[in-house]
Amino acid sequence: MEDIRLALIVIAPLIGAVASYVFGRVAPKLSGGIASAAVAVSLFNVVSLWQGLGAQESFSFILSSWLSFADVQLPLEIYFDKLSAVMCLVVTGVGLLIHLYSIGYMAEDESRPRFFAYLNLFIASMLILVLGKSLPVIFIGWEGVGLCSYLLIGFWYTNPDFASAGRKAFVMNRIGDLGFIVAMAILYHACGTLDVIALSNPKILARIPSDLGYIAGIALFLAATGKSAQLPLFTWLPDAMAGPTPVSALIHAATMVTAGIYLMARMFGVVGLDPLVPAIILWTALATSAVAALIAISQNDIKKVLAYSTVSQLGFMFLAVGVGAYSVALFHVVTHAFFKACLFMSAGSVIHGCHHEQDMRRMGGLARSMPLTCLSYGAATLAIAGIAPFAGYFSKHAILESLAHTPNIYLHSFSGVIGLAATAIAICTAFYMTRSFILTFMGSYRGEGHPHEAPMIMTAPVLLLAALSVAGGLVLNPVFFHYLEGPLPPVQEHASGGVIGFIFGSAPGLFGILAAYTLFVLVPTLKDQVRKVLWIGEKISAGKFFVDEILEVTVIAPVRALSVVVTQVLDRSVSLGSGEAIGGISRAVGELTCRATTGQVSTYVLWIFASAALLLYVFLPVR
Amino acid sequence: MDPIVSYLGIACVLFTIGGIGLCLRRNAIVLFMCVEMMLNAVNLAFVAFSKIHGNLDGQIAVFFVMVIAAAESAIGLAIILAVFRTHSSIETTDAAELKW
């Protein structure tokens, strides 16, 4: 029975993808319902299996055999343990809410069946990713979510900018995938297995030579930087906002971008082999988080603010990975899924209500016309700012605390600096989120037309997520870390207690909110003075730290130059040249041999006689 | 020596003369006659072998050869006539346009 349920988790959305497209072609209104029902089936099975986890450590099921050659057997096997359970609950739970929301958001779009088919395909791929028992199976899901992300970013493909944003995401992810493949090759070479359970066994990990272990760890992190948008591969994520807003909420905030964290947690044994790898992860994460937070301050597009904030929060998760607090990182994945999906969906409602306006400078005062959306955006803003007792407070606080207790020898002496920097980023986060809230919902309306509240089918899922952003942390915090102690290494217990702890822990968030409120509402003149002093900072922030430009010069230009060399020089001389040479030889041979055709009967007769004589000589038995 | 073998000898001589003529001459009608001569040399050989083996297989083959030779001469003479009309000559060296 468990086996069938486990298989159904993956198969239901796959069937849903086909069904919502096929039936959607006949009756477009059906497609959203079918897709949501498929995810609901998945969610139901996840919950029932999760209930059964107490009695049993894990479930596994072989969907079918896949690769088998010589002594290598690689079945399509899925595996359900506590870590997969947490990810599956987030993917199907938040996924279902976003599916319901999409029914309202996409109600007027012509190609709804295609949209819901892609969305369901994404859910199926994501579930394969988190359920895969061996790295190649995870890789199927990994590529599947990449493909769906590409398809959904470029969903409105008639706009060339959107299509090229999809292509950019795809290509940047490909760089990360290279790391994944390299890691798989090394691990198979050293351990002789790609099973994730075997690869967390210290006896098997001891077979990896130290230099290979270092490369494998770095390669896995490269894979994670691609999928989870870390430096230097993060620029695709803000561009990915070209997709419909529910896609941004589902793929580019709640689920797919956290796949990198999941991979790190699953492969924690390999990542931690060489202490230099976590140190590199931590510094990269810190830089990414800081850069993205600073860029977010100067963005005017509401979705861009949220996109950079996602990059920044992903950096926060990697901070926890870097100090070895994997379950803390997972905790932030969960709470972030709640509040960031809520923020994106509220932003979607705002965009929907303001007739596809995304620029916050042409919003304002929406609290009156869309009170429910304002309420949920506000709750999620407090959650991401880390104000107690909202969800984000607990996970952020746990990350900040875990930074102080790192056993890593390369990080030991820097823990003070790292902690301060992370706190500064937390202040930044609260500041830019409050800014976006003020610009969108407070003051007076600066746009044209009449903004209106979203329909029930959209507000209900958003309010539910807002409730989770408010209470999720409080409920989960006491049990979460202990729950994941089986599949993940244990973390130190946190002192989260008491009103005083709450106030001190919320201090960075409160400071950021107050600063934004002062600058944008209380004393607007001060804002202009600050801008004058920090004009160069504003330039850098508005220019997005010129990461795209730096990549353009350092990576893209050389590659393009190389391709010019290859096409103009190598292709001309080698390929074309060799073609010309082969052609020339056959032409010369032809010129020579055609002289045999004299047009004279007597020559032909001679040839006939000569050939006949030769044949007789060869084949006649009598010599 | 068996007297029948001398028939084969004559057939050989006729065939060779025809072949050499085919190689050396240019006049289409002479070439034509050379081909006829070679065919008849083969016919003679067929009859001789028929006698040697004591059955009629060879003689039946001769009839086929003669029928085909008749058809060939009809077509061949027609071709020669056509060549003469276009080239005013039946020298084979003059009709060599169809080479490369």
Whole-number pLDDT of residue A623: 57
Whether B27 contacts chain A with CB within 8 A: no
Looking at the predicted structure, is the pLDDT value of residue B7 above 60? yes
Residue type, A370: M
Looking at the predicted structure, is the pLDDT value of residue A496 above 60? no
Whether A602 contacts chain B with CB within 8 A: yes
**What does residue A59 show for φ and ψ, rounded to 5 degrees?**
-120, 145
Beta pairing partners, A195: A134
Whether B85 contacts chain A with CB within 8 A: no
pLDDT grade, residue A137 (50/70/90)?
very high
Per-residue pLDDT of A187-242, as tens digits, reads: 988 888 888 888 888 888 888 888 888 999 999 999 999 888 888 888 888 888 88
Whether A593 contacts chain B with CB within 8 A: no
Whole-number pLDDT of residue A537: 74
Instruction: Report CA-CA distances (Å) from B62 to B18, B43, B66.
Output: 18, 5, 6
Cα–Cα distance for residue pair A352/A101, rounded to 1 Å: 12
Residues in chain B with CB shorter than 8 Å from the CB of A616 are none
Are B24 and A598 in contact (CB < 8 Å)? no
Q: What's the whole-number mean pLDDT along residues B78-86?
A: 92
Residues in chain A with CB shorter than 8 Å from the CB of B31 are 601
Looking at the predicted structure, is the pLDDT value of residue A386 above 90? no
Whether B31 contacts chain A with CB within 8 A: yes
Whole-number pLDDT of residue A1: 66
Nearest-Cα residue of chain B relative to residue A594: B100
Q: How far is the alpha carbon of A612 from chain B, nearest alpha carbon, in Å?
A: 12
Cα–Cα distance for residue pair B94/B17, rounded to 1 Å: 24
Whole-number pLDDT of residue A3: 80
Is residue A376 within 8 A of residue A467, CB to CB? The reply is no
Looking at the predicted structure, is the pLDDT value of residue A497 above 70? no
Give the pair of three-digit tokens for residue B1.
Answer: 């020596």
**What does residue A102 show for φ and ψ, rounded to 5 degrees?**
-65, -30
Whole-number pLDDT of residue A563: 87
Looking at the predicted structure, is the pLDDT value of residue A498 above 70? no
Whole-number pLDDT of residue A546: 79
Whole-number pLDDT of residue A458: 86
Beta pairing partners, A61: A78
Looking at the predicted structure, is the pLDDT value of residue A439 above 70? yes
Give the pair of three-digit tokens for residue A615.
Answer: 């044949």
Are B96 and A600 in contact (CB < 8 Å)? yes
pLDDT grade, residue B63 (50/70/90)?
very high
Q: Specify the length of chain A in residues.
A: 623
Give the pair of three-digit tokens for residue A592.
Answer: 């020579």
Per DSSP, the three-state class of A155 is coil
Give the pair of three-digit tokens for residue A102.
Answer: 């999409």
- As a whole number, the mean pLDDT across chain A is 86
Per-residue pLDDT of A569-589, as tens digits, reads: 887 777 777 888 889 999 999
**A340 or A537: which carries more pLDDT confidence?**
A340
Looking at the predicted structure, is the pLDDT value of residue A618 above 80? yes
Residue type, B20: I
Report the share of chain A in percent with pLDDT over 70. 98
Enter the DSSP assignment of A78.
E
Give the pair of three-digit tokens for residue A480.
Answer: 């979460």
Whether B24 contacts chain A with CB within 8 A: yes
Cα–Cα distance for residue pair A502/A123, rounded to 1 Å: 36
**A318 or A595: which carries more pLDDT confidence?**
A318
Whole-number pLDDT of residue A124: 93
Whole-number pLDDT of residue A338: 92
Is residue A313 within 8 A of residue A384, CB to CB? The reply is yes
Beta pairing partners, A72: A69
Are B22 and A602 in contact (CB < 8 Å)? yes
Whether B76 contacts chain A with CB within 8 A: no
Nearest-Cα residue of chain A relative to residue B16: A609
Cα–Cα distance for residue pair A599/A610, rounded to 1 Å: 17
Q: Is the Cα torsion angle A208, A214, A217, A219 positive or negative in sign?
A: negative
Whether B38 contacts chain A with CB within 8 A: no
Q: What is the DSSP string of A400-424?
A: HHHHHT---TTTGGGHHHHHHHHHH
Are A599 and B19 in contact (CB < 8 Å)? no
Nearest-Cα residue of chain A relative to residue B35: A605
Mean pLDDT check: name the lowest of A47-56, A247-256, A495-504, B35-44. Answer: A495-504
Instruction: Report CA-CA distances (Å) from A197 to A488, A540, B49.
Output: 11, 45, 89
Domain locations in chain A? 326-542, 548-619
Looking at the predicted structure, is the pLDDT value of residue A425 above 70? yes
Question: How many C-alpha atoms does A550 have within 13 Å on its Cβ side?
Answer: 11
Report the share of chain A in percent with pLDDT over 90. 30
**A370 or A501: which carries more pLDDT confidence?**
A370
B52-78 b/e (C-beta count within 10 Å ≥ 16 → b): eeeeeebeebbeebeeebeeeeeebee
Beta pairing partners, A301: A359
Closest residue to B99, CB basis, from A597, A602, A609: A597
Residues in chain B with CB shorter than 8 Å from the CB of A600 are 92-93, 96
Looking at the predicted structure, is the pLDDT value of residue B2 above 80? no
pLDDT grade, residue A95 (50/70/90)?
very high
Are A602 and B99 in contact (CB < 8 Å)? no
Looking at the predicted structure, is the pLDDT value of residue A26 above 60? yes
Beta pairing partners, A73: A68
Looking at the predicted structure, is the pLDDT value of residue B100 above 70? no
Nearest-Cα residue of chain B relative to residue A602: B23
Cα–Cα distance for residue pair A609/A613, rounded to 1 Å: 6
Q: What's the whole-number mean pLDDT along residues A112-127?
A: 92
Q: What's the whole-number mean pLDDT along residues A486-500?
A: 69
**What does residue A523 show for φ and ψ, rounded to 5 degrees?**
-125, 75
Query: What is the number of H-type helices and E-type strands within chain A?
Result: 27, 2
Q: How far is the alpha carbon of B96 from chain A, nearest alpha carbon, in Å?
A: 5
Residue type, B70: A
Closest residue to B22, CB basis, from A597, A598, A605: A605
Are A601 and B31 in contact (CB < 8 Å)? yes
pLDDT grade, residue A411 (50/70/90)?
confident
Whether B92 contacts chain A with CB within 8 A: yes
Are A602 and B19 in contact (CB < 8 Å)? no
Whole-number pLDDT of residue A233: 83
pTM: 0.77
Cα–Cα distance for residue pair B6/A190, rounded to 1 Å: 88
Q: How far is the alpha carbon of A158 from chain B, nearest alpha carbon, in Å?
A: 56
Three-class SS of A254-274: HCHHHHHHHHHHHCHHHHCCC
Mean pLDDT check: name the lowest of A156-160, A169-173, A329-333, A521-525. Answer: A521-525
Whole-number pLDDT of residue A193: 84
Q: What's the whole-number mean pLDDT along residues B1-17?
A: 88
Whole-number pLDDT of residue A493: 63
- As a whole number, the mean pLDDT across chain B is 89
Are B98 and A601 in contact (CB < 8 Å)? no
Q: What is the DSSP string of A273-298?
A: SSTHHHHHHHHHHHHHHHHHHHHHHT
Is residue A83 within 8 A of residue A330, CB to CB? The reply is yes
Residues in chain B with CB shorter than 8 Å from the CB of A605 are 19, 22-23
Residues in chain B with CB shorter than 8 Å from the CB of A602 are 22-26, 92
